[in-house]
C-alpha cells in the first residue's frame, strides 16, 4: 500500500524572515532557496513580493533559479499585491500564489472593519484574480484558530468555487491546543473532501506548533507550513525538522504518511540558515540543537556505548550529521579533496566560486591547526554571498592600551581606489566602525553586535553578526564577518552590512510598489 505524501510548505524566507533580526539580502535568500530545493521541500514561500522592491527581486530571482520545488509568493487579498506576486513568480517552472484575509470575528471587526459578506467578496475577488496568473492558488483564513467554523465553511465554499485548490487554516496567534486543532481540521477536511487540500500553519506561542501540526495530519491535513529551526514571528513557527523527523521516527503511528524531504539535508540546511541569519537554535533544540545528540550522564553514556538505541531514537547520520568525521582537512589538502568535502556537505560551486573558496581555505589552513565541517560551512556560506562589494576591507591596524585612547587605521577599496583614514572611539570596535563611516561617508547606527566561535579551540574562527541602520526610516541591515581575528571579522561584518544596504538602495531606485493599502 502506497503512503500518502504530506506536502511540506516551507515559509522560512517569508514568515521566518519576520523573526526579529532575521532579515536577509537577495543573494542570501537565493542561497537558502537552493538548499531548500536540495532538502526536497514541496513548496517554497519565497517572500511577500508586494512588501518591498527587495522582496520582489528576491522572489523573482528564486523563481528563475529553482526547478524542483513550487515557488510561492504571499499576497493580501488586494489586486496590487496579487499582481506583484504573479509578476514575481512568472518565470517559475511551478508556481503558486498564496492569498489571505482574516476570518475571525475579532480581526474582521477591529482590523478589517468589514462585515462577513464583504470579507467573502474580497476573498473571491482575490482568488479569481490570482487565477489569471497561476493555476495553483492557496487561500488562507487568517486567524482560523479563533474563527467560527460555520463561517469558514461558507468562505471556503466560495473560494474553492473561485479556483482555490488549497485551503490553509492558520493558528495565527498560536492559541489552540492539539485536540482543538485536530477537531477543526477533521471537520474542515471532511467538508472539503475531494475539492481541496487542507493545510495548517501553526505558530508556537504556547510551544505547541509541532504538536498541533502532527495532530492536524492525523485528522486530515495534507500540507503543513513550517520553517527551518522554527524561525518566525514572536515565538516562531512549527519547526520543519521536528515535524518531518516525528513522522519518520514514529512510523508506527504515522505509517500511512511520508514526505518528500531528504532528511540527510536537514542538518546542513539548519546550519546554513543559522549562519546567514545569525540566529542559532538553542542548544537543547530538538533535532538540530548542538546538544541534541550529546550525552552527559554517565548512565546515558554507558548505554549509548553498549547500544545506541538505548538513548537515541534518531541517528545523527539520518539528518546529515556525521559524528565520526567532523575533523576534515588541513594545509596539505588539495583542491580535489576540498571539492569532495564540499560535495559531502551539500555545496555545489561554480569554478570561479571554487577557486576563490579554495584560496580562502588555504589561507585559513595556514593559520588554524584543525579545520572542522562547521569551519567549511561558515567559509563557504560567506563566499557564496555574491552581493556586489562597493566597499572592501584591505587592511586594518589597531591601537589600544589601558588608560589610552583606542584608535583604528583602516584601508578600504572603493571603485578600484584604496582609501586610508584613522579615527578614535570609546573602544576598539567603536573606533573601527567610526573610521569606516568616515571613509565611506555613510553613518551607521549599530543596533546589535554578536560574536561566536564557529568551532572549539583557541584558534577557532570568529563569526561576527552586526545589525546596523544607515537610514532611520528603513529597516536594520544584517552583516556577517568571518576571521580568526575578531576585530577583522567585526570590520568585515560592518562593511558587509553597508554593501547589503547599498544593494537594497539600488533596488529601491529601480522599482517601487503602490501596495499601500492595509487589511
Write down how long the chain is: 519
**Residue whose cell numbers read 513548496:** 43
Cα torsion 34, 21, 277, 85 to 10°: value is 0
Please, are residues 402 and 428 in contact by the beta-carbon 8 Å criterion? no
Q: Please report how the helices 53-65 and 486-510 are oriented relative to each other, as an axis angle in degrees rounded to 10.
A: 100
The three-class DSSP label of residue 491 is helix
Give the span between the Cα atoms of 336 and 295, in whole angstroms: 35
Flag whether 203 is marked binding: yes
Give the span between the Cα atoms of 18 and 357, in whole angstroms: 31
Please, are residues 6 and 199 in contact by the beta-carbon 8 Å criterion? no
**Residue whose cell numbers read 462585515:** 115
The three-class DSSP label of residue 399 is strand
Among residues 439, 442, 481, 435, which one has the least CA distance to residue 462?
481
Burial track 189-217 (b if 16+ CB lie within 10 A, e otherwise):
bebbeeebbbbbbbbbbeebbbbbbbbbb
Flag whether 55 is marked binding: no
Contacts 24+ apart (CB under 8 A), 338-342: 341/376, 342/376, 342/380
Take residue 105 and report the three cell numbers written for it. 470575528
Please, are residues 229 and 255 in contact by the beta-carbon 8 Å criterion? no
Flag whether 107 is marked binding: no
The three-class DSSP label of residue 427 is coil
Flag whether 307 is marked binding: no
Residue 46, H or E segment: strand 43-47
Cα torsion 50, 55, 56, 60 to 10°: value is -140
Give the span between the Cα atoms of 257 and 211, in whole angstroms: 16
Take residue 348 and report the three cell numbers written for it. 555545489
Strands 197-202 and 166-171 come out as parallel
Binding-site residue numbers are 15, 201, 203, 237
Binding-site residue numbers for Mn(2+) are 15, 201, 203, 237
Amino acid at each position: 500500500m502506497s503512503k500518502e505524501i504530506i506536502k511540506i510548505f516551507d515559509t522560512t524566507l517569508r514568515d521566518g524572515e519576520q523573526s526579529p533580526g532575521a532579515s536577509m539580502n537577495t543573494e542570501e535568500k537565493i542561497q537558502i532557496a537552493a538548499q531548500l530545493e536540495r532538502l526536497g521541500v514541496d513548496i517554497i514561500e519565497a517572500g511577500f513580493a508586494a512588501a518591498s522592491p527587495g522582496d520582489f527581486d528576491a522572489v523573482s530571482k528564486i523563481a528563475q533559479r529553482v526547478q524542483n520545488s513550487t515557488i510561492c509568493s504571499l499576497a493580501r487579498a488586494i489586486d496590487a499585491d496579487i499582481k506583484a506576486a504573479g509578476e514575481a513568480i512568472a518565470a517559475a517552472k511551478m508556481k503558486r500564489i498564496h492569498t489571505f484575509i482574516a476570518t475571525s470575528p475579532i480581526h474582521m471587526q477591529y482590523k478589517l472593519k468589514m462585515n462577513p459578506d464583504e470579507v467573502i467578496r474580497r476573498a473571491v475577488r482575490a482568488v479569481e484574480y490570482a487565477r489569471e496568473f497561476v493555476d495553483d492558488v492557496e487561500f488562507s483564513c487568517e486567524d482560523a484558530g479563533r474563527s467560527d467554523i460555520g463561517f469558514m465553511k461558507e468562505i471556503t465554499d466560495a473560494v474553492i468555487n473561485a479556483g482555490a485548490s488549497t485551503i490553509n487554516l492558520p493558528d495565527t496567534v498560536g492559541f489552540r491546543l492539539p485536540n482543538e486543532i485536530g477537531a477543526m481540521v477533521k471537520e474542515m477536511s471532511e467538508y472539503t473532501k475531494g475539492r481541496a487540500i487542507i493545510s495548517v500553519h501553526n505558530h508556537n506561542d504556547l510551544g505547541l506548533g509541532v504538536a498541533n501540526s502532527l495532530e492536524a495530519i492525523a485528522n486530515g491535513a495534507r500540507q503543513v507550513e513550517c520553517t527551518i529551526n522554527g524561525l518566525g514571528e514572536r515565538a516562531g513557527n512549527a519547526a520543519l525538522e521536528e515535524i518531518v523527523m516525528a513522522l519518520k521516527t514514529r512510523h508506527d503511528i504515522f505509517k500511512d504518511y511520508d514526505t518528500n524531504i531528504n532528511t540527510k539535508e536537514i542538518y546542513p540546511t539548519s546550519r546554513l540558515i543559522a549562519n546567514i541569519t545569525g540566529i542559532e537554535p538553542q542548544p537543547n533544540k530538538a533535532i538540530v540543537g548542538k546538544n541534541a545528540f550529546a550525552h552527559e550522564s554517565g548512565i546515558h553514556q554507558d548505554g549509548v556505548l553498549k547500544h545506541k538505541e538505548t538513548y537515541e531514537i534518531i541517528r545523527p547520520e539520518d539528518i546529515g550529521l556525521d559524528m565520526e568525521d567532523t575533523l576534515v582537512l588541513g594545509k596539505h589538502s588539495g583542491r580535489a579533496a576540498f571539492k569532495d568535502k564540499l560535495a559531502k556537505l551539500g555545496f555545489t560551486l561554480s569554478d570561479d566560486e571554487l577557486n576563490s573558496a579554495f584560496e580562502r581555505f588555504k589561507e585559513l589552513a595556514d593559520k588554524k591547526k584543525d579545520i572542522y565541517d562547521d569551519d567549511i560551512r561558515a567559509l563557504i556560506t560567506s563566499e557564496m554571498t555574491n552581493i556586489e562589494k562597493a566597499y572592501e576591507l584591505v587592511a586594518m591596524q589597531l591601537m589600544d592600551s589601558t588608560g589610552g585612547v583606542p584608535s583604528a587605521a583602516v584601508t578600504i577599496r572603493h571603485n578600484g581606489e584604496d582609501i586610508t583614514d584613522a579615527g578614535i572611539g570609546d573602544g576598539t570596535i567603536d573606533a573601527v566602525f567610526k573610521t569606516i563611516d568616515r571613509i565611506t561617508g555613510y553613518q551607521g547606527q549599530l543596533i546589535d553586535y554578536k560574536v561566536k566561535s564557529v568551532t572549539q579551540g583557541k584558534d577557532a574562527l570568529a563569526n561576527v553578526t552586526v545589525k546596523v541602520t544607515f537610514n532611520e526610516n528603513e529597516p536594520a541591515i544584517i552583516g556577517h564577518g568571518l576571521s580568526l581575528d575578531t576585530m577583522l571579522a567585526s570590520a568585515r561584518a560592518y562593511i558587509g552590512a553597508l554593501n547589503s544596504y547599498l544593494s537594497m538602495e539600488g533596488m529601491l531606485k529601480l522599482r517601487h510598489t503602490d501596495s499601500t493599502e492595509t487589511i
